Structure 1
Amino acid sequence: MIQKTIYLIRHGETDYNRRGVVQGSGVDSDLNDMGRAQAQAFFDAYQHVPFSKVYISGLKRTYQTALPFIELGIPYEKLTGLNEISWGVMEGKVPGNLDNEYYRALIEAWSSGNTALPTDSGESPEQVAARQKTAFNVILSHPDETPILITMHGRAMRILLCWLTNRPLAEMDHFEHSNLCLYKLQYDYATQTFTIELANDTAHLLTLAVNSYQ
């Protein structure tokens, strides 16, 4: 039985995350000090895993998150299909009251099943899923690569985890996430099915909380 073990993480914190500003695929922000500390904490906890390959999105916050592993000499590949959803005109804006109403209505529409509805001048969840499937065809075409590390983005991860587990995209908010959280998955090539073994795991970040009180 051929299986692929996948460690799927969200990138570390950026200043946009801290300020509650939407980034999306159009804002190519850097990790902040906390984000770099989160990346190091994840590396410290998982550097023993013999990753065959690292996959990142086209945005540098995912590269910076995976950098400690890449510096070990682990090969990496950039797949823009793993990019965050495009939030269109909302990207880089500090949400005001009207913007919050826009997001509320948008999320409600998606949750009710209208996942073909795009953001204003951006993407729909269905468009994101389509490009993700192209990226995953590349990833799964290498059964010899296991385990692998994939560094992605919050909303994109929610969309990805839905279709990987055969859930409708309307259920994407079922999948919680935080900066540098881990989802560990197994892919079975015989049955072509994904199993989630760990969900939104942040145990590796406990050292940051401990250190902050010292």
Structure 2
Amino acid sequence: MKVLLVRHAETEWNQRGIIQGHKDSPLTVRGAQETAALLAALASYPIACVYASPLGRAWQMGQALAGHFDCPLVAHTALKEQAFGHYEGMPSAQLRDEYPYEAEALFAKDAAFCPPGGESLAHASQRIIDFIQQQQQTAAHQTLCIVTHGQVSQGVLALLKEGNIDNFSRYAQPNASYSVFEMTEGQCITLRWGIATHLRTLTLHK
């Protein structure tokens, strides 16, 4: 089974550096441009189905992809972003100023750290890994697209690449970037991650 792991396009809170988690914000103008660039970049993939987080920003990307490829679109709660609990709606700069230890643990050091009222990255990432492995049982020879979120993608990619989540901060996945991997018997056998070459022109003209 081949999987394309896609991050949603830029939102207003992404642009302003506000922690989203299970909260949402509208796409920016740039986000719409990123979506169009991603659709063009993925044109050669024979995507059979798109699975998306039901959170608005990911669902919009899922709708665009499913419409482009004329394939089914399925929402699944397992694909949601990590829940950041009480930190949701807070500027990340404020979190770093007021709670520097917690901010470092959350974004760089400790996948087991659980924000107050939220969930750990380790837990959030494992629910997506479990979802991917479940799909392999019914779609072993298909190409699937999974639309999810930035923080949790880092944990998933670390688990697929290294077999553990410790180095999750290495696996940044920019808005509207994608990763490609193949799964055989529940194991990842190839992986290209954080592909964003289709966004270069947009970056130059931001």
TM-score (ref. length: structure 2): 0.87
Q: Equivalent residue for 1:30?
A: 26
Q: Deviations over 1:5-40 (max 9, x none)?
A: 111111100000000000012x12232211111011
Q: Equivalent residue for 2:2?
A: 5
After TM superposition, list the pairs within 5 Å mapping 1:118-129 onto structure 2.
118-129=114-125
Gaps of 5+ in 2: none
Q: Deviations over 1:38-88 (max 9, x none)?
A: 011110122232101111112121121232322242112111111101111
Q: Equivalent residue for 1:139?
A: 135
**Contact kept in structure 1, 2:96 and 2:103, CA below 8 Å:** no
Q: Distance in 2 between matches of 1:144 and 1:167?
A: 21
2:84 to 64, 74, 87: 87
Inter-CA distance 142–205: structure 2 relative to 1 (3 Å threshold): same
| Larger mean Cα displacement after TM superposition, 194-203 or 171-180 | 194-203
Q: Distance in 2 between matches of 1:130 and 1:96?
A: 28
Please identify the structure whose Cα radius of gyration is greater. 1
CA RMSD in angstroms comes to 2.3
TM-score (ref. length: structure 1): 0.84
Work out whether 1:170 is the aligned partner of 2:169. no
| Larger mean Cα displacement after TM superposition, 85-94 or 10-19 | 85-94
CA shift, 1:101, in A, is 4.2
Q: Name the amino acid aligned to 1:159.
A: G
**Contact kept in structure 1, 2:49 and 2:66, CA below 8 Å:** no
SS where residue 166 of structure 2 aligns? helix
| Larger mean Cα displacement after TM superposition, 29-38 or 122-131 | 122-131
Q: Equivalent residue for 1:50?
A: 46
**Contact kept in structure 1, 2:63 and 2:73, CA below 8 Å:** no
Inter-CA distance 75–117: structure 2 relative to 1 (3 Å threshold): same
Counting aligned pairs with the same residue, the percent is 24
Inter-CA distance 68–115: structure 2 relative to 1 (3 Å threshold): closer
Q: Name the amino acid aligned to 2:195.
A: D
Q: Equivalent residue for 1:187?
A: 183
Q: Distance in 1 between matches of 2:82 and 2:88?
A: 10
Work out whether 1:59 is the aligned partner of 2:55. yes
SS where residue 169 of structure 1 aligns? coil
**Contact kept in structure 2, 1:54 and 1:70, CA below 8 Å:** yes
Q: Deviations over 1:123-162 (max 9, x none)?
A: 1123213422442243222234521111111111011112
